[in-house]
Structure 1
Amino acid sequence: MLKSKYFVPFLLLLVLATACRYQPLVPSSAAEGGDSVRFYSRMYALNSNFQIEADTLWLHVLPFMDTVPLLRGDEVVVAEFDVHPQDSVDSVWVKVARDQETIGWIQEHRLLDNIVPVDPISRFIHFFSNAHTLPFFLVLAVFFLWFVYRAVRRKQIKLIWLNDIDSGFPILLSLLMAIAATTYNSIQHFVPETWERYYYAPTLNPFDVPFILGFFIVCVALALLVGVAMLDDLFHQTKAEVAFFYLVGLVSCCIFIYVFFTYVNVYIAYVCLVAYAAGCIRWLCKPERYPYVCGACGAKLRTKGICPHCGALNE
């Protein structure tokens, strides 16, 4: 297993690797030429597949004398673009088709307000961009913390703090969450059109997107890998019940870190990220954090006294 003290240099090497190539997000159909080049600035191209999110969406059938409905959950494909300069609301119209019988035109802004791409990555982005997601996460984090507090107060478990586990993976996970959230904040602040293009043409390959998006993808992938390694390390050091409550508290911390670094002013986020990263690196490089071992359960301890894992007294 990769030791935590070597993880930061390894992360820097991956970041440099993603910087080796910067390629704009151009849909394949736009690269081939034709009408889609004309509408590339609209972030999506011909043959894009979407799912309807509105309860009912009406399509106009030529010669605009009739309409056909699309219902929630229907999947449609973009068949054609057209421009109507006389339309003062939205001059761009899009022709979409559900099947051979359900084909029609709709103003672009109405279409985009009521659809989501069928790609699972786009759906994931759509969920996290929803206005209800932030309150949901905050309520979830508060509930987790309240759950842990009740368990500790009733003495159902011994509380284990972040640094009571002889592992650098929890610190690394929280740091990666902070870096990913700050990167996302930067994208939304400086290049929101890049994120919008990625929303309509997502990929998990960090080398096929602009550097800042590639860096974000690498951070998310590393966070998942570190999370798996942390689970393996944690369940080898303590009992399942204690590990569960530890994970609940860690998830709450990660939620607050994500929310803070995502929604705070981007320049404040940079300052806080530098300070937080410095503290994490200093903690990871601290020698002999656990010089003692519990005589009852064998867990590593920072100081003598009551073991936070099993409650035994070590003198």
Structure 2
Amino acid sequence: MEKVKNSLLCVIVLLLSACYNHGPVSPDAWDLTERQIDSLSFFTTHHYSQNYNFVVKASQMPISDEAGSQAFDTLYVSKGDPLVVADIKTISTDTIDSVWVKVARDQMTQGWIRESEMLPCVSPNDPISQFIDFFSDTHLLLFLALLVVVVVAYGLRRLMRHNARIVHFNDIDSFYPTLLCILIASSATLYASIQMFSPESWRHFYYHPSLNPFSLPWFLALFIASVWAILIVGVATIDDVVHRLEPSEGLLYLCGLAGVCAVDYVLFSITTLYYIGFLFLVVYIIFALWRYFRYSHYRYVCGNCGARMHRKGICPKCGVENV
């Protein structure tokens, strides 16, 4: 019996014991060269460094053979050309911009350009960063074009039927459109807040984007999670509208919903920059929920004809009183 106890004790001790590997001792692990230290410091403040990949978004971008040279007629790279950062140099005597960047398209096409002149002409060679660039440059134009289309469509619709469906005002009995509008308004407010209160975090995200919210700071993670939520709720909204409305009426409703979402995005993105967007968001959420539950959500069904009803009483379709 004593041997069995000793054996069990040895097994338990072995199970609870583990070897800890401290790793090789490397006294010179942090002995970085001055150039490496400068590169790390530059990456911290500029969010890119040597070997970073850009793509040209301007029609043309001039580059010079030598850093500090004003001869910008040597080489040109064109829109869509991929570029890699080959070197970075600081020229303290340059009164315009002391940071010069050497970019290379290939072995034969490479040269220097001031950072302040390069950044407006390039975009990170990443689809997420390019989408941010595209959307930031054209969202107002797209909004105005969409607004005109929606106004004309609703004008024609009202002339023909005088009873067009639209979210918040003559909505369908589905919470998804209201939820989608609330999500877009909240995301626009959060987007503007990040740019106001943490611009460097947003700039770092722009240069190193990710769609994984678990790999980002909490405020960026919340924004990316809201984007995923918008996509999921958007798909659910389209599916619900298709099943509840006729094709022509459903298409018009979705166009109107897109117009309202565009208005929400622009309105809350701009007003948040002046701090009143936060108050508007609270008021808008209360308004949207009140309109849906008061006028669009049907809690009862007529016991005689099956028509949906907001409250108990006389059925508006068959006239039977429901108690």
Tell me, yes or no, whether TM beats 0.5: yes
Q: Give 1:273-288 correspondences, 5 Å limit.
A: 273-282=281-290
Q: Which of these residues, 156, 159, 168, is aligned with residue 153 of structure 1? A: 159
Greater relative CO, 1 or 2 (CA 8 Å, sep 6+): 1
Please report how far the alpha carbon of residue 301 of structure 1 lies from its aligned counterpart in structure 2 after TM superposition. 5.3
Q: Which of these residues, 42, 48, 59, is aligned with residue 44 of structure 1? A: 48
Whether 2:127 is the aligned partner of 1:137: answer no
Please report how far the alpha carbon of residue 127 of structure 1 lies from its aligned counterpart in structure 2 after TM superposition. 1.2
Instruction: Quote the residue 1:67 is aligned against.
Output: 74
Whether 2:169 is the aligned partner of 1:166: answer no
Please report how far the alpha carbon of residue 35 of structure 1 lies from its aligned counterpart in structure 2 after TM superposition. 4.3
The amino acid that maps onto 1:48 is: Y
Whether 2:228 is the aligned partner of 1:221: answer yes
- Post-superposition Cα deviations, 1:225-255, rounded to whole Å, max 9, x if no partner, equal 0011111122122211111111111111111
What is the TM-score when the length of structure 2 is the normalising length?
0.76
Alpha-carbon distance between aligned partners in 2 of 1:314 and 1:76, rounded to the nearest angstrom: 71
Whether 2:96 is the aligned partner of 1:93: answer no
Alpha-carbon distance between aligned partners in 1 of 2:85 and 2:209, rounded to the nearest angstrom: 17
Please report how far the alpha carbon of residue 79 of structure 1 lies from its aligned counterpart in structure 2 after TM superposition. 1.3
Alpha-carbon distance between aligned partners in 2 of 1:300 and 1:164, rounded to the nearest angstrom: 14
The amino acid that maps onto 2:269 is: T
Please report how far the alpha carbon of residue 91 of structure 1 lies from its aligned counterpart in structure 2 after TM superposition. 0.6
Alpha-carbon distance between aligned partners in 2 of 1:165 and 1:257, rounded to the nearest angstrom: 19
Alpha-carbon distance between aligned partners in 2 of 1:237 and 1:295, rounded to the nearest angstrom: 22
Gaps of 5+ in 2: 1-35
Instruction: Quote the residue 1:291 is aligned against.
Output: 300
Secondary structure of the equivalent of 1:236? helix
The amino acid that maps onto 1:144 is: V
The amino acid that maps onto 1:136 is: L
Larger mean Cα displacement after TM superposition, 140-149 or 168-177: 140-149
What is the TM-score when the length of structure 1 is the normalising length?
0.78
Residues paired across the two proteins, number: 273
- Conservation of the 8 A alpha-carbon contact between 2:63 and 2:113: yes
- Post-superposition Cα deviations, 1:58-112, rounded to whole Å, max 9, x if no partner, equal 2211485782221122111111111111111111111111001111111111110
- Conservation of the 8 A alpha-carbon contact between 1:138 and 1:255: no
Alpha-carbon distance between aligned partners in 2 of 1:58 and 1:240, rounded to the nearest angstrom: 52
Check 1:288–1:124 CA distance in 2 against 1; reply closer, same or farther (3 A cut). closer
Alpha-carbon distance between aligned partners in 2 of 1:149 and 1:190, rounded to the nearest angstrom: 41
Alpha-carbon distance between aligned partners in 2 of 1:160 and 1:282, rounded to the nearest angstrom: 18
Instruction: Quote the residue 1:108 is aligned against.
Output: 115
Alpha-carbon distance between aligned partners in 2 of 1:38 and 1:115, rounded to the nearest angstrom: 22
CA RMSD of aligned residues (A): 2.7
Larger mean Cα displacement after TM superposition, 34-43 or 174-183: 34-43
